[in-house]
Amino acid sequence: MQIQHITAKHFIGARAVDLDLDTPVTIFAGPNGAGKSSLREAISAALTGDISRVALKKDYPSMVTEGSKKAVVSVDTDAGSASLTLPDGKHVGLKVYTGALPYVLEPSTFASMKADDRRTFLFDLTGLRATPETVKASLLERECDAAKVEKVLPMLRSGFPAAVKFAEDEAREAKGAWKTVTGEQWGSDKGEGWEAEVPLFDVKRHDDVTEQLVAVEGRLAAANKDVGALQVKHDAYKAATASAERNAELAESVTRIEAKLATDKQHFAQVEAALLEAQQRAGDAPREGLVHELAAAVREFTVIIDDAQSLVQRATGTIKPWSDYRLDVVESAYAAYVEQYGEPGADGDADARAKLPELIRARDLMKRSVENDERDLAAARAASESLKLKADVETVTEEHVTAARRSVTAATDQRANLRAELDKLNNAKRAAETAASKTKDAARHHADIAQWLAIAVALSPDGIPGDMLAKVLAPINHQLASLAAFADWAVPEIGADMAIRAGGRLYSLLSESEKYRVDALVALTIAVLSESRLVSFDRFDVLDIPGRGDLLALLDDMAKEGEITTALVFGTLKKVPEGLPATTRAHWIERGELIATTSVAQAA
């Protein structure tokens, strides 16, 4: 891919860059903060659509140069144009393969990847495809189970790691099934030739225990029935005993109640006599209130009744005898008044009248006491009579019930022991009957485990992917060695484990400039193999002066050979490089703008 023109306006520090590229290699030099890295990021963002400095779209405005409203980046290539505008984030990409661009535009990307991601990218880069057909053929060559191979093939759509995990999960499930059958943890040595133990089974003892169990269950049922019957009799006995005790207590109280009744009757008679005497002494002293006035009126009416045998009706003049009227109501009401207050209108004892209410209450209280005594006496006499009748209740004590329950407990324990022994005998019988089946099932599960593990191993990085990767790595490492030899740098090598080494040392142990050299050679190799023929190097000044010369000489040679069509080099330098080959041109950038080479030279 050949970049022909670059436009970058207001993209962070790249304020105004508008440049035709007329050589394969272009150097952008300038002081710190001149906008070199901003220009490199602008070109990368336009080609890939990836804005690396921010993660969220809401932060896009921060990528626009302060004081400006819009950033525009456009890159014209021989494969079309790509552009990006901010802050709206509108991107127009190239319509050709751009999968290798992140690795050639930022050379350190490959080394920062995880091993599985590197492996996947290299497969994609070299065009080597692990098709289901090729993987199936390889698995069958390794004598993997054909049915299981068919089952794992669909998982390859998600890559070798997904297929390996699927096979391992299947093996793990088969191990669980093996453990269920054997009761043990699976092991490759243990699983091979495992046989279920065949326990001894005593048929005669099994029959004896079965017979004993039937007998003891019969005894237990009878014992439970006896306990129930005894409990009923015991409850009846307790109830009869309690009733007899209550009746005895009541019978013993007859004499006491009779004495109390006699005393209460005597007191009642005394209170009643005192009340009568007080009523007689109270007389009929002046009383006030409607009741007393009505009583006086009734008394006058009784006088009228005593003086006449009949009355004459006013309207008709008819004579009617008193017998035609309810005079008993009048007499009853008057008698009640006299009983409580004495004769109305008569003189009497005021003190006696004052005691009448209290005496009436005392009489009523003693009357109730006598009634209660008579009731209690009747109950006590009835209890005394019931004691004379002998209750027909069998004597069954708690000891009798407890003894019966001990028989139940003994039978229950014996039944439990017999059942436990019978369970063991039944287990032994079943184990003896199923031992051959368990041995067969265990062998089948063991075979499944071994077959799935074989597939997992075959699909692991050291298996089929490793064989395929060896074919991939050969041309890559050859290219790396060829480029390193030309530049006179330590030879990088990518191992089957995807570890990167240079001069035999791991990438992580290299110095910054050594890592830069390795990243540059990897990026150039990717540019060649992907046929993008485009690379971009930032921080060119990490290399010392001889190292910079080596890189520029390598780029010049590759440009002449047509292996690269565009190489962009960015570095913090004191002045524009001089004595460059015809394939290379340098530009000075300052404050985000390109400065004419002649004016820079004069300033220097």
Task: Dump pLDDT digits (tens) for 244-273.
Answer: 666 666 667 778 888 888 898 899 888 888
pLDDT of residue 561: 94
Banded model confidence at residue 279, pLDDT cuts 50, 70, 90: confident
Answer for the pair 533, 566: CB distance below 8 angstroms, yes or no.
Answer: yes
pLDDT tens digits, residue range 49-89?
888 777 788 888 888 998 899 999 999 999 899 999 999 98
Residue 503 is encoded by which pair of tokens?
């001069």
pLDDT band for 598, please (50, 70, 90 cuts). very low
User: pLDDT grade, residue 385 (50/70/90)?
Assistant: low
Q: Residue 32 belongs to a domain with what CATH number?
A: 3.40.50.300
Residue 221 lies in a domain: no
Please give the structure tokens belonging to residue 220. 């237990």
For 297-306, the CB contacts below 8 A with 24+ separation are 298/330, 298/333, 298/334, 298/337, 299/334, 299/343, 299/344, 299/345, 301/330, 302/330, 302/331, 302/334
Is residue 180 in a domain? no
Beta bridge partners of 90: 85
Task: Cis check for the bond before 87: say yes or no (omega within 30 of 0).
Answer: yes
Within-domain flag for 595: yes
Q: Looking at the predicted structure, is the pLDDT value of residue 21 above 50?
A: yes
Which one has a higher pLDDT value, 525 or 317? 525
Instruction: Please state the rounded mean pLDDT for residues 29-48.
Output: 92
Q: What pLDDT, on a 0 to 100 scale, did the predictor assign at position 562?
A: 94
- CB neighbours of 192 closer than 8 A, spacing ≥ 6? 446
What's the rounded mean pLDDT across residues 431-450?
86
Q: State the pLDDT at residue 603.
A: 44
Which pLDDT score, from 0 to 100, does residue 537 have? 96
Q: In this predicted structure, what is the pLDDT of residue 185?
A: 92
E strand residue ranges, 438-520: 492-494, 500-502, 505-506
Biggest alpha carbon distance in the chain?
Answer: 173
Burial of 81 (0-12, 13-18, 19+ CB in 10 A): middle
pLDDT digit string, tens, across residues 411-426: 888 889 988 888 888 8
Is the pLDDT at 386 greater than 80? The verdict is no
pLDDT in tens, 121-142: 888 888 776 678 888 988 999 8
Parent domain of 567: 3-98+532-603
How far is Cα 113 from Cα 101, in angstroms, rounded to an integer?
15
Task: Let me know if residue 509 belongs to a domain.
Answer: no
Query: What pTM did the predictor assign?
Result: 0.54
Tell me 490's DSSP state.
P
Quick check: is 591 in a domain?
Answer: yes
Q: Residue 419 and residue 576: Cα distance in Å, rounded?
A: 101
The number of domains in the chain is 1
pLDDT digits (tens, 9 = 90+) for 541-563: 999 999 999 999 999 999 999 99
Any idea how long the chain is?
604
Nearest Cα to Cα of residue 581 among 30, 26, 105, 104: 26
With respect to residue 448, please indicate whether it lies within any of the assigned structural domains.
Answer: no
554, part of any domain: yes
User: Does residue 80 sit within a domain?
Assistant: yes
Q: Encode pLDDT of 236-249 as tens digits.
A: 777 667 666 666 66
